[in-house]
Amino acid sequence: MVSAEGLKQYGVTKPISMAGPTVADLKRTRDLEKFLVDSGLYESDEEDAKREEVLARLRQLVKDWVKQLTRARGYTDQMVEDSNALILTFGSCRLGVNGPGADIDALCVGPSYISREEDFFYIFHDILAEMEEVTELQPVPDAHVPVMKFKFDGISIDLLYASVSLLVVPDDLDISHVSVLHNVDEATVRSLNGCRVADLILKLVPNVEHFRTALRCIKFWAKRRGVYSNVTGFLGGVNWAILVARVCQLYPNAIPSMLVSRFFRVYTQWRWPNPVMLCEIGEDELGFPIWDPRRNPRDRTHHMPIITPAYPCMNSSYNVSPSTLRVMMEQFQNGNKLCQDIELNKAHWSSIFEPYLFFESYKNYLQVDIVAADVDDLRAWRGWVESRLRQLTLMIERDTLGKLQCHPYPHDLVDPSRQCAHCAFFMGLQRKQGEVAQEGQQFDIRATVDEFRDSINMYAYWKHGMDICVSHVRRRQLPAFVFPEGYRRNRPSRPSSEQHLRRSSSPKDEVGGKRKNVDEDPDVKPAAKRLSSSPERGISVSPDVLVNNSVSPLPESVGSVDGDMTPVADESASHELDSTSGNSALNTPLYDVCTAENSDRRCSSTSTSTSTSSMVSTLISENFQGGFGWGPDVSGADRNSCSSEGSTDQRFTKSDSCEAVSGFLPEDGSETNGIAGMVHPNGVGGMVLKPQSCNNGMKEQF
């Protein structure tokens, strides 16, 4: 236990509490550790041995590759004998929190005369391609951090390459020393920093074993609650590691159960965009850019800065958007409440890890279907589309002025009944809390979807057969394969408190002069009854969102099959439906003409025959409800707490700061102002950052 006298301070501020565990805390920690073991979060001895065997074979493989190139380039026999390359792990393996089936994040460190562009992505790629043990080989040389993805003997590996300015790479190379960054490019720095950041994190926490247990727990929670995905705008492994490490610094004598509880307490009250930092930001020693919102206008637009400790210190969570931040804050609040119940013996640890029912949480979704000619093309196409989904979220937020909020599902899904190479991404949609729907108000995101589709089609490695379709799907129309059991469950009734919250925060809909119960599940309405409604009643509902369907329709095998996907109807179909109901055709776009179970097949056949030039809008006619908005406590520091009138100015001078609150979160949680934010090492403490418009000429996003 760390004593108060002669205390080594971890982090940029003093700890919140030096309190150690009570008897109850010790029992809760034993219960938590048992739960983690029972949940299968630890590798077996056999899995650990296999992983080490794969790493050993990979190490020998890169050594042979470097010796081969050294000899081919005319170096002396002694040079060939001394030539060397290292394989270092980073991520969960290096932090010691890898679980069963986890990927291996690895870095190959080679000499200066072995290049990434030609030697690694061509010659070494060809060596791997010829090996029977290697499958699903996918080079991604144009990524922000260039990577080679493959499976080696069934184990997934993400392999980076860094060429350091040494002719011979020693086996005991100290990668944490800044000298390894001399005379290298920025891509190499980013590749090296995975290992450097992991090493520093372990050095900056008071108790490594307590940190590892808490991190294993939080990562498991994040995956179960659907907020573990850096690429879609949530947080990845290094982000969660830094957040947990900061809590360890603030509570140096806490044990895992205490750390998990304090984690949710701290980040429920954190005033973003104040940064989370484990140490002071290092000086600009070698000229590489560092995170500094005073000098870099782009850094001021970051919503949830989580700063890496190794030079050059950067924001590891720049992908976070206002919508994904809202979702994470919502989950922090839920976790905090459940931890309070656990401390009062009202709940068990299993309650925190209940999976988030994403496909039961929204009334409206965007479905992004992608197809390719074969599985190899799909793997590359999927990676490209997934990397751009965050842009769709930002575009929707920009074009609706933040009034339409998006919640991306962090995984792709596949319909096992279909034989073609395809997958689907989903995004929940809802109106921002507090936004009152006006009569006839619409969110027209057709141009937004078109812009997104155009950006997708700029893929440099596009091949014939690669296609994408973006469509609106209501909750009752979700395909069966999105549900774990393969079918839709009966939705449980909402708790009375949540019913009251939704009634008080959402406008009431009226259809045909009759008031709709906002808590009524639209799924339970018979399809036949919806069909019998006259078009006049249908159009009396104010649509919220306009979405164009894909200009390039997908093959029939990916279209609507038994109602799996919202079909696209052309004008002839709308006229046909109007004529059958005894009404003349309307100029208003049709409302989900293919939602009824009995008409799915008819509409599907109609949609597949639609020409690529026909475009029909799908309208979301239900009011968006629910969800949590994010106010000043989430979006930034409380302006009333600023000691300088200039603290909200976008020009950051020495006076642009807020006073940090010492002892800002007492153990009883009674601090009304919560956490005041961290003190920027350059003197900017708890500053309020105003989002800036991008420099690319686009209008201000948020």
Active site residues: 92, 103, 105, 158, 219, 228
Tell me how far apart the alpha carbons of residues 531 and 599 are, in angstroms, rounded to a whole number: 9
Retrieve residue 123's tokens.
């010659």
> Which residue, 379, 576, 367, is CA-closest to 479?
367
CB 518 within 8 A of CB 625: yes
Q: What are the backbone angles phi and psi of residue 586, rounded to the nearest 5°?
A: -105, 155
Retrieve residue 593's tokens.
């003409």
Mind spelling out the 3-state secondary structure of 295-360?
CCHHHHHCCCCEECCCCCCCECCCCCCHHHHHHHHHHHHHHHHHHHHHHCCCCCHHHCCCCCCHHH
Angle between helices 208-224 and 23-38 (to 10 degrees): 60
Tell me how far apart the alpha carbons of residues 602 and 15 are, in angstroms, rounded to a whole number: 66
Contacts of 528 (CB under 8 A, 6+ apart): 596, 598
Tell me how far apart the alpha carbons of residues 199 and 599 are, in angstroms, rounded to a whole number: 60
Tell me how far apart the alpha carbons of residues 629 and 638 are, in angstroms, rounded to a whole number: 16
CA atoms within 13 A on the CB side of 469: 26
Mind spelling out the 3-state secondary structure of 369-426?
EEEECCHHHHHHHHHHHHHHHHHHHHHHHHHCCCCEEEEECCCCECCCCCCCEEEEEE
- Cα torsion 8, 10, 16, 20: sign: negative
**Where are the alpha helices (H) located in 234-315, listed in sequence order?**
237-250, 256-269
Mind spelling out the 3-state secondary structure of 51-103?
HHHHHHHHHHHHHHHHHHHHHHCCCCHHHHHHCCCEEEEECHHHHCCCCCCCC
Cβ-based burial of 694 (10 A; exposed 0-12, middle 13-18, buried ≥19)? middle
- Cα torsion 493, 497, 502, 503: sign: positive
> Which residue, 187, 181, 201, is CA-closest to 92?
201
